[in-house]
Amino acid sequence: MAKTKVKPGTAKTNRKQSARNSDAARDYGADKIQVLQGLEAVRKRPGMYIGSTGARGLHHLVYEVVDNAVDEAMAGFCDEISVIISADSQVRVEDNGRGFPVDIHPTEKKPGVEVAMTTLHAGGKFDHSSYKVSGGLHGVGVSVVNALSEWLEVEVMRDGKTYHQRYERGNKASELNIVGDTDDTGTIVRFRPDPDIFPDLDYQYDTLVSRLRELAFLNAGVRITITDERGEKTKNGEFQYDGGLVEFVKYLNRNKKAIHSKSMTVNTTRDEVEVECAIQYNESYTETLLTFVNNINTTHEGGTHLSGFKAALTRTLNAYAHDRNLFKKAEFSLSGDDVREGLTAVLSVKVMEPQFEGQTKTKLGNSEVRGIVEAAMNEALGSWLEENPSAARALITKAMQAARAREAARKARDLTRKKSGLDTGVLPGKLADCSIDDPSLSELYLVEGDSAGGSAKMGRDRNYQAILPLRGKILNTIKARVDKVLSNEEIRTIITAIGTGFGEDEFELDDARYNKIIIMCDADVDGAHIRTLLLTFFFRWMKELIEAERIYIAQPPLYRVWKGKKEFYAYDDAERDRAIERLGGNGVNVQRYKGLGEMNPDQLWKTTMDPASRTIQKVTMEDETLVRELFDELMGEEVEPRKKFIKEYARFVRNLDV
Catalytic residue among 242, 379, 461, 524: 524
> What is the reported pLDDT for 317?
96
Q: Is the dihedral of CA 38, 192, 219, 359 positive or negative?
A: negative
**Which 8-state DSSP code applies to residue 474?**
P
> What is the reported pLDDT for 161?
96
> What is the reported pLDDT for 420?
41
- Helix (H, G, I), strand (E, B), or coil: what is residue 123? strand
Q: What is the pLDDT of residues 28-47, one digit of tens each?
A: 677 666 554 445 678 888 88
Q: Is 75 exposed, middle or buried (0-12, 13-18, 19+ CB in 10 A)?
A: buried
Is 287:624 a contact under the CB 8 Å cutoff?
no
> What is the reported pLDDT for 360?
62
> What is the reported pLDDT for 2?
43
Catalytic residue among 80, 114, 153, 448: 448
pLDDT at 446 over 60: yes
Amino acid at 577: D
> 448 catalytic, yes or no?
yes
pLDDT at 138 over 50: no
| Cα 257 from Cα 149, distance rounded (Å) | 46
Q: Of the candidates 114, 119, 101, which has an alpha carbon nearest to the alpha carbon of residue 161?
A: 101
Q: What is the pLDDT of residues 476-503, one digit of tens each?
A: 888 888 888 888 889 989 999 999 887 7
Q: Is 387 exposed, middle or buried (0-12, 13-18, 19+ CB in 10 A)?
A: exposed
pLDDT at 99 over 90: yes
| Helix, strand, coil abundance in the chain, percent, nearest 5 | 40, 20, 40
| Cα 55 from Cα 64, distance rounded (Å) | 15
pLDDT at 139 over 80: no
> What is the reported pLDDT for 657?
55
CA distances to 150, 283, 420, 514, 546 from 510, in Å: 42, 34, 22, 10, 14
Q: Of the candidates 185, 224, 180, which has an alpha carbon nearest to the alpha carbon of residue 62?
A: 224
Q: What is the pLDDT of residues 400-425, one digit of tens each?
A: 999 988 888 777 666 544 444 444 45
| Cα 496 from Cα 421, distance rounded (Å) | 6
Q: What is the pLDDT of residues 24-33, one digit of tens each?
A: 666 767 766 6
Indicate the average pLDDT of the chain.
Answer: 86
Q: What percent of the chain has pLDDT over 90?
A: 58
Is 135:69 a contact under the CB 8 Å cutoff?
no
**Span 308-323, average pLDDT:** 95
**Which 8-state DSSP code applies to residue 395?**
H
pLDDT band at 591 (very low <50, low <70, confident <90, very high): very high
Residue 13 or 267, more confident: 267
| Cα 285 from Cα 404, distance rounded (Å) | 13
Helix (H) or strand (E) holding 466: strand 465-470
pLDDT at 658 over 50: no
pLDDT band at 12 (very low <50, low <70, confident <90, very high): very low
Residue-wise burial string across 268-280, b where 16 or more C-beta atoms lie within 10 A, e elsewhere: beeeebbbbbbbb
Q: Is 512 exposed, middle or buried (0-12, 13-18, 19+ CB in 10 A)?
A: buried
> What is the reported pLDDT for 32?
63
**Span 605-626, average pLDDT:** 88
> 505 catalytic, yes or no?
no
Q: Which residues does 278 contact at the CB level (< 8 Å), separation at least 6?
A: 244, 245, 246, 248, 249, 263, 264, 265, 266, 345, 346
> 71 catalytic, yes or no?
no
pLDDT band at 15 (very low <50, low <70, confident <90, very high): very low
**Span 184-194, average pLDDT:** 96
pLDDT at 125 over 50: no
pLDDT at 646 over 80: no
Residue 4 or 103, more confident: 103
| Cα 476 from Cα 27, distance rounded (Å) | 58
Phi, psi (rounded to 5 degrees) for 269:
-130, 125
CA distances to 17, 74, 96 from 8, in Å: 12, 20, 15
pLDDT band at 654 (very low <50, low <70, confident <90, very high): low
Residue-wise burial string across 391-423, b where 16 or more C-beta atoms lie within 10 A, e elsewhere: bbeebbebbbebbebbebbeebbeebeeebbbb
Q: Which residues does 591 contact at the CB level (< 8 Å), separation at least 6?
A: 559, 560, 561, 598
Q: Is 224 exposed, middle or buried (0-12, 13-18, 19+ CB in 10 A)?
A: buried
Q: Of the candidates 618, 460, 446, which has an alpha carbon nearest to the alpha carbon of residue 546?
A: 618
Q: What percent of the chain has pLDDT over 70?
A: 86
pLDDT band at 512 (very low <50, low <70, confident <90, very high): very high
> What is the reported pLDDT for 184?
94
> What is the reported pLDDT for 624?
78
pLDDT band at 22 (very low <50, low <70, confident <90, very high): low
pLDDT band at 651 (very low <50, low <70, confident <90, very high): low
pLDDT band at 266 (very low <50, low <70, confident <90, very high): very high
**Which 8-state DSSP code applies to residue 405?**
H
Residue-wise burial string across 201-212, b where 16 or more C-beta atoms lie within 10 A, e elsewhere: bebeeebbbbbb
CA distances to 92, 388, 392 from 383, in Å: 46, 9, 11
Catalytic residue among 71, 79, 247, 522: 522
> 526 catalytic, yes or no?
yes
Q: Of the candidates 162, 176, 198, which has an alpha carbon nearest to the alpha carbon of residue 59?
A: 198
Q: Is 358 exposed, middle or buried (0-12, 13-18, 19+ CB in 10 A)?
A: middle
| Cα 447 from Cα 469, distance rounded (Å) | 5
**Span 94-101, average pLDDT:** 94
**Span 197-203, average pLDDT:** 94
Is 156:162 a contact under the CB 8 Å cutoff?
yes
Q: Of the candidates 472, 135, 358, which has an alpha carbon nearest to the alpha carbon of residue 123?
A: 135
Q: Of the candidates 520, 543, 515, which has an alpha carbon nearest to the alpha carbon of residue 627?
A: 543
Count Cα neighbours of 134 within 13 Å in the Cβ-side half-sphere.
23
Strands 616-618 and 235-239: unpaired
Q: What is the dihedral of CA 114, 118, 124, 127, to 10 degrees?
A: -120
Length in residues, the chain: 658
